[in-house]
Structure 1
Amino acid sequence: MAQDTTPSDDGIAIADAKSEEIVVTATGVAQPIDQVGQAVTVITRADIERRQTVSVSDLLATTPGVTVSRNGGIGTVTAVRIRGAEDAQTLTIIDGVRVNDPSSPAGAFDFGNLFAGSIDRIEVLRGPNSVPWGSQAIGGVVNIITARPTEGLQARANAEYGYADSVSANAAISGKSGIFSGSLTGGYVRTDGISVAANGNERDGYRQYGATARVGVEFTPGIGLDLRGYYANSRTDLDGFPAPNYTLADTNEYSTARELYGYAGVHVNLLDDRLKNRIAFTIADVDRDNYDPAFGTKPSFIGRGRTERYEYQGDFRVIDQVRVVAGAEHENSRYADASTRYSTGVTSFYGELIVTPVRQLTITGGVRNDDHKAYGNRTTFGASAALALDTGTTLRASYGEGFKAPTLYQLYGPYGTPGPATPGVPARDALRPETARNYDVGVEQSFLSGAARVGVTYFNRDTKNQIDFDLGTFTYQNIARTRAEGVEFELALRPVDALTFTANYSYIDSENRSPGSNFGKDLARRPHQTVSASIDYRFPFGLSAGATVSHVGDSYDDAGNFSRLDGYVLAGLRASIAVADRFEIYGRVDNLFDEKYEVVRGYGTYGRAAYGGVRVKFD
């Protein structure tokens, strides 16, 4: 669990055994986790390798407060919902770039194409957090950090093969020489898959190749250039709704996606590093196409989304007890399909004050203003407190506001409703941002010199002006309201270095509060209860063995709560053994008991599946 304290250009370091882990997702700058008043879960590279995870969504599904649904096999549309919020209300960041898809009708990020081979670290913040991050951070934030440069030359690679002729291979190299540092990863995933349609007979395959890269140039201590890039090219076989029944069945349809995310920034640290400045330009470019060979070779759907952001952030430690974080951002986004093109822009300013009046107490407050071309101004507030006592008790409380701007499709698409800043549009008829208010309180207690930790968090969130399709007007309108409240329990044990046990339980009551026939009913695909437990043990002779068991409770597949999805239990076993200093063999069995289940009505899920692979590291 202990790693070197080597900070990166993300502002992230993992501390040694005598100090605290550092996170950036709560305020946008690096903070010890015991100074954070919000609920944050950290997944490290060691966790990824121990769990032998390929899809990031599979890891997130075992995280407190998070539920995942996937429309079929690997690579199909995958929704990640935090604390019962919509998947489009989960803000996703990769290496400092907001990657929510502007070509998606609601602006959700599709986790179906995100794999763990290139990832060093994931931070999951639960609850609204729009002050540092802006739009879409209503349910929470998933912050992805890919492989970072290392002090010395290091390399790693792994390859595995398994069920449905599946292949996953990854390689990474990183290092530093003089003022230059860099890292490069490459990955390839392919599988024959399963049938997307649960009643289908043909397998629907998947293929992706991708790469990430980082380059750093430290011209003088504290002044440098940071470049980051992410590329993925994917192809997913699909099923459709063919005539004459127009129900989900085997077809030859498929989709392609090309994702390109980039970051170019300069950091300048002044006043003995008390004043840190960062200027950056980021880009997210997503091309999506759907094909149906039954109707020819041209795409049946074309989506082109692009977001460009210009950012400044200042982080000034006035004195040891007072820290001021402030920033300015401008974002341009555009969306195009086969016949139309839309664009908009937003300019934002935010400020945060982090005060530590006494050593054990950290109080944070912030405000943000967004001036959007379509809907005008929106001001957002947030505040939190963390009290870390010497007894190992940490008390946390936070109040957070979140908002989600209407997407380009919701504003200007064929069923769109323009915003109030659009000339000639009365305010009462305009589309406004979705808004949320959340408060949570939690307590965490560590025992046995940090070898045991238990925590509990209560949260309550109300979302208003939620955008939904209005069947009365056949347009998008602010007609929905939702409420979610619940409790999250976490337990972590490491009584000896060789044994690790973690478990969590979440109870989330997310309900529709919109006037009408669905008032008071459960939101679709939001189970009330989820449980996950994982245990791993390393034997003295190099063998590691582990297991994960997860339970997802009953839910409904529709807003009217007519179509019930039964709960299910998934169990998996894994093992690995080092056969040399740098060489390891591993294998796992997923869905050990071949559970039959659905997460989306009519769509297929994996049965029992086995995989085996090799891993090599050099440093």
Structure 2
Amino acid sequence: NETTLWTFGLDHMAEETATASADINSAYAEVAFAASDKLDLTGSLRYDDHSDLGGQATGRLAAAYRFSDDVILRAQAATGYKPPSLFQSTTNAANSTVALAPEENTTFELGLEKAYGEAGFVRATAFYNDLENHLIYEGTCSTPTNLITPGYCYAQSNFKSKGLELSGAYALNDTWELTGAYTYTDAYRPTGRAGRVPRHDLHIGVSGDFANGFAGGLGVNYVADRFDRDNGSTPMPDFKTVNAHVSYQFNDSTQAYLRVENLFDEDYEAVNGFNTSDRALYFGVRASF
């Protein structure tokens, strides 16, 4: 009706390899309720029945409250569930004595958004994430069973993160818009700080729609304070990259674009020992019918 929307359904997924198979049968439902002209509430529930691992229920509660037309407070709490894939479980069965358990996750978010008419907005969101039994790739198994040489497998470890996200956009004039986003993340495991999660991630960009169908923009991404491995054993250098794009709109359905990633050919690594792309150019045409 005018205030309530129900969504519900059933889901079936089947996996099969040469040596194993698994099915997941699921049921889910969600209700979105406009409690008033200021308050919206959402609740959802899902139940997954795994043929090998049994059943698991997860859910989500969310609310949005409008203090005024331009100020909105949002909050949510949710749980998640992800069983290991057949590839992961059969790999461990062959290379390790460790049996894998499903990943289970709990998250909380609280955010506030302020709009400035059509000119722009600012948004702040605090988050907390608690992930149990997080699957981690291991290049060498610590407990091989039937291999002459230890092979690769998967281990599991708890992972927690908390932090703050800030974002915003502002129209400088009729042509140019300035955007920005910053995330501070404190991620850790029981043994110390988590690897490959930067503590600071900043993006600033400017984009514009010009006359005669042309548009373009420039963005700078800066990543700082990160480690390649857990426990801070391999510090990684900070880096910044610049990306640019330009497009031309032929008509309502056809557009040509040119995108340049890593414009100034920054030499950096996201994972220690693995190269990332040098300057790269992409050209394409999009069409809709």
| AA matched with 1:501 | L
Residues 372 and 391 of structure 1, relative CA distance in 2, 3 Å threshold: same
In 1, the alpha carbon distance for the partners of 2:228 and 2:36 equals 49
In 2, the alpha carbon distance for the partners of 1:353 and 1:585 equals 41
Instruction: State the secondary structure of the residue aligned to 1:381.
Output: strand
Q: Does 1:375 align with 2:53?
A: yes
| Structure 1 residue 577: Cα displacement | 5.3
Residues 89 and 99 in structure 2, CA contact (< 8 A), matched pair in contact too: no
| Structure 1 residue 563: Cα displacement | 2.2
5+ residue gaps, structure 2, are 146-152
Instruction: State the secondary structure of the residue aligned to 1:413.
Output: helix
Tell me the residue number matched to 1:277: none
- Aligned to 2:7, which of 317, 321, 325? 325
In 2, the alpha carbon distance for the partners of 1:404 and 1:618 equals 36
Q: Deviations over 1:73-120 (max 9, x none)?
A: xxxxxxxxxxxxxxxxxxxxxxxxxxxxxxxxxxxxxxxxxxxxxxxx
Instruction: State the secondary structure of the residue aligned to 2:274.
Output: coil
Q: Does 1:462 align with 2:130?
A: yes
Q: Deviations over 1:455-508 (max 9, x none)?
A: 010000111133456955348787411101111111112254422222111111
In 2, the alpha carbon distance for the partners of 1:543 and 1:349 equals 47
Residues 13 and 25 in structure 2, CA contact (< 8 A), matched pair in contact too: yes
Residues 478 and 595 of structure 1, relative CA distance in 2, 3 Å threshold: closer
In 2, the alpha carbon distance for the partners of 1:557 and 1:368 equals 35
Instruction: State the secondary structure of the residue aligned to 1:473.
Output: coil
Work out the number of aligned pairs and report it: 278
Residues 204 and 221 in structure 2, CA contact (< 8 A), matched pair in contact too: yes
Q: Does 1:415 align with 2:93?
A: yes
| Structure 1 residue 616: Cα displacement | 7.6
Q: Aligned Cα RMSD in Å?
A: 3.0
Q: TM-score, normalised by structure 1?
A: 0.41
Q: Deviations over 1:303-338 (max 9, x none)?
A: xxxxxxxxxxxxxxxx32222222222221113xxx
Residues 417 and 430 in structure 1, CA contact (< 8 A), matched pair in contact too: no
Instruction: State the secondary structure of the residue aligned to 2:277.
Output: coil
Residues 409 and 416 in structure 1, CA contact (< 8 A), matched pair in contact too: no
| AA matched with 2:89 | L
Q: Which structure exhibits the higher relative contact order, with contacts defined as CA atoms closer than 8 Å and separated by 6 or more residues?
A: 1
- Aligned to 2:243, which of 547, 569, 572? 572
Is the deviation greater in 357-366 or in 470-479?
A: 470-479
Q: Does 1:473 align with 2:143?
A: yes
Q: Does 1:503 align with 2:180?
A: yes
Residues 323 and 565 of structure 1, relative CA distance in 2, 3 Å threshold: same
In 1, the alpha carbon distance for the partners of 2:164 and 2:286 equals 41
Tell me the residue number matched to 2:233: 562
Q: Deviations over 1:522-578 (max 9, x none)?
A: x22211111112212233455434211111223222234322221111113334456
In 1, the alpha carbon distance for the partners of 2:169 and 2:91 equals 48
Tell me the residue number matched to 1:450: 118
Residues 434 and 478 in structure 1, CA contact (< 8 A), matched pair in contact too: no
Q: Deviations over 1:275-317 (max 9, x none)?
A: xxxxxxxxxxxxxxxxxxxxxxxxxxxxxxxxxxxxxxxxxxx
Tell me the residue number matched to 1:296: none
Tell me the residue number matched to 1:487: 164
Instruction: State the secondary structure of the residue aligned to 2:101.
Output: coil
In 1, the alpha carbon distance for the partners of 2:155 and 2:184 equals 28
In 1, the alpha carbon distance for the partners of 2:287 and 2:135 equals 48
Residues 596 and 412 of structure 1, relative CA distance in 2, 3 Å threshold: closer
